[in-house]
Amino acid sequence: MRCGKMAAPPPPPPAGAAGAWGGVRRRCQRLLYWVPVLFISSILCWSYYAYVTQLCLLTMTNVGEKVVCLVAYHIFFMLFVWSYWKTIFTLPMNPSKEFHLSYSDKESLEREPRGESQQEVLRRAAKDLPIYTRTMSGAIRYCDRCHLVKPDRCHHCSVCDKCILKMDHHCPWVNNCVGFSNYKFFLLFLAYSLLYCLFIAATDLQYFIKFWTNGLPDTQAKFHIMFLFFAAAMFSVSLSSLFGYHCWLVSKNKSTLEVFRAPIFRHRTDKNGFSLGFSKNLRQVFGDEKKYWLLPVFSSLGDGCSFPTCLVNQDPEQASTPGGLNSTSKNENHLFPAKPLRDSQSHLLTDTPSWSETSAKAEKGKVGMSNPALTMENET
């Protein structure tokens, strides 16, 4: 029996074609990410038409009521759109260049096997950086995709494919990461959208009741009034719970990611490690000048790379009890970070009474342990 020749495998697709297909796929994904934003924008445009034209101009008969409702509505509408726009188009902040590994350090990490050599590279890169948190194994938080030592509260976003400073979450409704640069805008967006919906529901309620009691003429406005009330009431319920949750996060100086995974400091896991008390927690997000608090302009304190903590200093030469608690520490009432902070954040540490209040709420006498052995661990 004669053996036939084996068929040759098909030639691989040209590299240029594969790259072009990948580019098309990425562009399609980026377009799909805008669908939730377009949905919210279309609802907003319809609500403007339904409220201004159908309800105020065509249905309301009292001139004074028309004027008051139109003026108040446009104030809420402007603040809502302004804060929403800023949340969407404010670029997330990434770690500064000092957190990126040098070319020689990156070569060392790639060349050396996991072990003491890599520990030394990360130890040398992080020794002068204001970082206090570690991974679960006690290692320096390092991102192998961005090739940088992660600042505190920084996380790598899989959607944006970059490290985001003080990342809270990636929000599909704004097609953006919510982090240090736009967290205030996101809070104001929730607040003004909630006020917007509550105002529409409150002023539309009497006409909604007239709709069911046949008190309105049989026109197109009836259906706009009915759906306007339903939409405003439905969004009010969901927004109130979300806004309340983020208000609680601000009061505790936490992010959504930190609620699910408490930050791990060099001494231990501490879910309230960044909390400085309600007043200072609020000022970290909204700033010192109250005149800017209600406006979607950036006024948050700091640079997003360093944050004050409620750590207690510990003399490394002092003996400590098991678990890292030093019952005779002379500095147990002096709370300050173990690394220098940026100037824009350090003034939060000067108010001693507020720190003492924070200390009383925390476990008194809790101190930091000496640095554990650093092992390289990738964390996303």
Model confidence over 172-189: pLDDT tens digits?
Answer: 999 999 999 999 999 999
**Cα–Cα distance between 264 and 210 in angstroms, integer?**
58
Establish if 183 belongs to a structural domain: yes
Establish if 375 belongs to a structural domain: no
**Cα–Cα distance between 123 and 144 in angstroms, integer?**
16
- pLDDT-based confidence at residue 92 (cuts at 50, 70, 90): very high
Establish if 362 belongs to a structural domain: no
273 and 126 in one domain? no
204 and 113 in one domain? no
Sorted by sequence, the CB contacts under 8 Å of residue 98 that are 6+ apart come out as: 129
State yes or no: is 171 an active-site residue: yes
Mean pLDDT along residues 187-216: 91
The DSSP code for 290 is: G
Establish if 56 belongs to a structural domain: yes
Q: What is the domain extent for residue 111?
A: 97-175
Mean pLDDT along residues 20-25: 72
In which residue are the tokens 């406006």 written?
295
Establish if 245 belongs to a structural domain: yes
103 and 89 in one domain? no
| Chain center to CA of 77 | 24
Higher pLDDT: 289 or 357? It is 289
120 and 149 in one domain? yes
- pLDDT-based confidence at residue 357 (cuts at 50, 70, 90): very low
**Cα–Cα distance between 270 and 283 in angstroms, integer?**
21
Give the lowest-confidence range in 16-20, 359-363, 366-370, 375-379. 366-370
Looking at the structure of the chain, the number of domains it has is: 2
Query: How would DSSP label each residue in 224-236?
Result: HHHHHHHHHHHHH
Helix (H) or strand (E) holding 134: strand 133-134
133 and 252 in one domain? no
**Of 140, 175, 210, the domain-final residue:** 175
89 and 193 in one domain? yes
117 and 87 in one domain? no
191 and 265 in one domain? yes
239 and 166 in one domain? no
- Look up the pTM and report it: 0.79
pLDDT tens column, 60-89: 889 999 999 999 999 999 999 999 999 999
- pLDDT-based confidence at residue 355 (cuts at 50, 70, 90): very low
Q: List beta partners, residue 163.
A: 156
Query: How would DSSP label each residue in 24-38?
Result: HHHHHHHHHHTHHHH
In which residue are the tokens 């903590």 written?
309
Establish if 287 belongs to a structural domain: yes
275 and 153 in one domain? no
In which residue are the tokens 């070319």 written?
103
Establish if 104 belongs to a structural domain: yes
pLDDT tens column, 119-159: 778 878 888 899 899 888 888 899 989 999 999 999 999 99
**Of 126, 153, 175, the domain-final residue:** 175
Spatial contact of 373 and 119, defined as CB atoms under 8 Å apart: yes
**Given a cut of 60, is residue 282 above it in pLDDT?**
yes
Higher pLDDT: 326 or 300? It is 300
**Of 153, 175, 197, the domain-final residue:** 175
Establish if 209 belongs to a structural domain: yes
Spatial contact of 260 and 249, defined as CB atoms under 8 Å apart: no
Q: On the CB side of 289, how many CA atoms lie within 13 Å of its CA? A: 6
With a pLDDT cut of 90, the percent of the chain lying above it is: 53
164 and 65 in one domain? no
Higher pLDDT: 162 or 340? It is 162
What pLDDT shows up at residue 250? 97
- Annotated catalytic residue, options 171, 197, 305, 310: 171
- pLDDT-based confidence at residue 118 (cuts at 50, 70, 90): confident
254 and 185 in one domain? yes
